[in-house]
Amino acid sequence: MGKPIIKGDTIKIPSDPEFLSDVDIFLEGTLRGFGAEESVVADIAISVSELVNNAMLHGNQSANDKVVTVSISRGNESVTVTISDEGCGFDPASVPDPLADENLLEEVGRGLFIVKSLMDKVDINPTEKGTTIAITKAI
Amino acid sequence: MKLTDRIQDNIVVLEPKGKIMGGPDASLLHDKLYELIESDRKKIVIDLAKVEWMNSTGLGILISSYTTLRNNNGELKLANVTDKIQSLLTITKLVSVFDAHDSVEEAVKSFE
């Protein structure tokens, strides 16, 4: 797979950060179509960029033949976005606390913490065939 | 993200524009920073007025800029931190790390 593929409310991208902006354009356009406020659009866009980055680098280990899938669905008063990779899963409890004094100046390691801060609900489902994370935010 | 720079009262002002989300963004700012340090420009303001939002990669770039300058006897100031970025700095406790100012003029003056 060499470039993004969009089908309905789903986009599949190769594990290359070059394609982060394709996900963002697709996501923000869809959210505005749902009538979401700009602040909510930004919070969801930030969160999805974090999770897609993680899925590419940590999940798929940047492997060219593995893809990241992002799907958007609208509920009555909320939006749910699921991000799936094809890696080996991970233990969310193993992520170091980014607020600890010794980690404060680390350049990485805040992504999941930020997602949990910005979203109303975060469901993490790691399996041996990949991790799927579903994030939900009221709109 | 796009990046421009200018000199104001002998201080370098970097002006990123757009979204800082990862990919090529990190190397763009990092390369510029090393170029400035090598030319002995070590007092730098990053003007965030035109940054729509950033994620943890963006925060990592700011931290990297801060530590790189500090380790080279330089100094970094932030200016025009938007509400969205301020909120990220607050929840990550990084608000205590950066010297942030309401305007570029104030940030430049603070080097005196």
Domain ranges in chain A are 5-138
pLDDT of residue B57: 93
**Residue A125, pLDDT above cutoff 70:** yes
Q: Please write down the HEC assignment for all residues of chain A.
A: CCCCEEECCEEEEECCHHHHHHHHHHHHHHHHHCCCCHHHHHHHHHHHHHHHHHHHHHHCCCCCCCEEEEEEEECCCEEEEEEECCCCCCCHHHCCCCCCHHHCCCCCCCHHHHHHHHCCEEEEEEECCEEEEEEEEEC
pLDDT of residue A1: 64
Residue contact B19–A24, C-beta within 8 A: yes
Query: For residue B91, what are the domain limits?
Result: 2-109
- Tell me which CATH code domain A5-138 carries: 3.30.565.10
Of B22, B93, B97, the CB nearest to A49: B22
CATH of the domain at B77: 3.30.750.24
pLDDT in tens, B47-104: 999 999 999 999 999 999 999 999 999 999 999 999 999 999 999 999 999 999 999 9
Average pLDDT score over residue span A49-77: 95
Of B52, B66, B92, the CB nearest to A110: B92
Chain B residues in contact with A114 by the CB 8 A cut-off are: 55-56, 88, 91-92
Give ipTM to 2 decimals.
0.90
**Residue A47, pLDDT above cutoff 90:** yes
Domain count, chain B: 1
Nearest-angstrom CA–CA distance, B40 and B60 = 23
**Residue A90, pLDDT above cutoff 90:** no
Nearest-angstrom CA–CA distance, A104 and A107 = 8
Quickly state the pLDDT bin for A22 (edges 50, 70, 90). Answer: very high
pLDDT of residue B27: 82
Give the type of residue at A94.
S
- Low-confidence winner among A24-38, A67-81, A89-103, A123-137 (lowest mean pLDDT): A89-103
pLDDT of residue B23: 75
Per the rule left: phi > 0, alpha: psi between -120 and 50, beta: everything else, B13 is beta
Beta carbons within 10 angstroms of residue A54's beta carbon: 23
What are the DSSP calls for chain B, one per residue? -EEEEEEETTEEEEEEEEEE-STHHHHHHHHHHHHHHHTT--EEEEE-TTEEEE-HHHHHHHHHHHHHHHHTT-EEEEES--HHHHHHHHHTTGGGTS-EESSHHHHHHTT-
Task: Give chain A's contact residues with B (Cβ, < 8 Å).
Answer: 17-18, 20-21, 24, 39, 42, 45-46, 49-50, 53, 98-99, 104-111, 113-114, 117
Of A42, A53, A113, the CB nearest to B53: A42
Chain B residues in contact with A110 by the CB 8 A cut-off are: 56, 59-60, 92
pLDDT in tens, B2-54: 999 999 999 999 999 999 987 777 788 888 988 999 999 999 999 999 999 99
pLDDT of residue B1: 85
